């Protein structure tokens, strides 16, 4: 079982975009509390992107608004779980580089939204 299985299952049966994202984030945070590797955080990020893009695609908003919703979900995931990837010894350095890493993750997610949209629509 991968780290993203439980969050995806928790969000699967819910109807609204916000409910799906909230359920995913609650379970992801619980899974992350014992520590995360960068690979596990990446797995959570990709799973959230897939879930959020699919849920946002049916919203009655413009494409830019939908993308903003997805990126806000990614920002909340980062704010909630990224600190669990950092060893205690490196935490002071993390505080310095965290804003730049957050911006990088959001930039990557922004590009990934465009790439995931055709994949989500084909399933």
- Summarised one tens digit per residue, pLDDT across range 21-77 is 999 999 999 999 989 999 999 999 999 998 898 888 777 777 788 889 999 999 999
Quote the domain boundaries for residue 44. 5-122
Distance CA 123, CA 80 (A): 29
Yes or no: say if 17 and 77 are a contact pair by the CB < 8 Å rule.
Answer: no
Number of compact structural domains in the chain: 1
pTM: predicted TM-score of the whole model, two decimal places: 0.87
Q: What is the pLDDT of residues 60-75, one digit of tens each?
A: 777 788 889 999 999 9
């Amino acid at each position: 079982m991968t780290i993203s299985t439980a969050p995806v299952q928790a969000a699967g049966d819910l109807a609204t975009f916000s409910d799906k994202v909230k359920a995913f984030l609650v379970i992801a945070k619980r899974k992350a509390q014992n520590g995360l590797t960068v690979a596990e955080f990446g797995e959570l990020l990709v799973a959230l992107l897939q879930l959020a893009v699919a849920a946002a695609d049916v919203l009655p908003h413009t494409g830019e608004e939908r993308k903003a919703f997805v990126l806000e979900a990614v920002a909340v995931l980062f704010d909630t779980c990224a600190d669990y990837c950092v060893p205690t010894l490196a935490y002071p350095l993390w505080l310095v580089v965290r804003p730049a890493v957050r911006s990088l993750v959001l930039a990557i997610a922004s590009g990934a939204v465009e790439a995931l949209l055709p994949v989500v629509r084909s399933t």
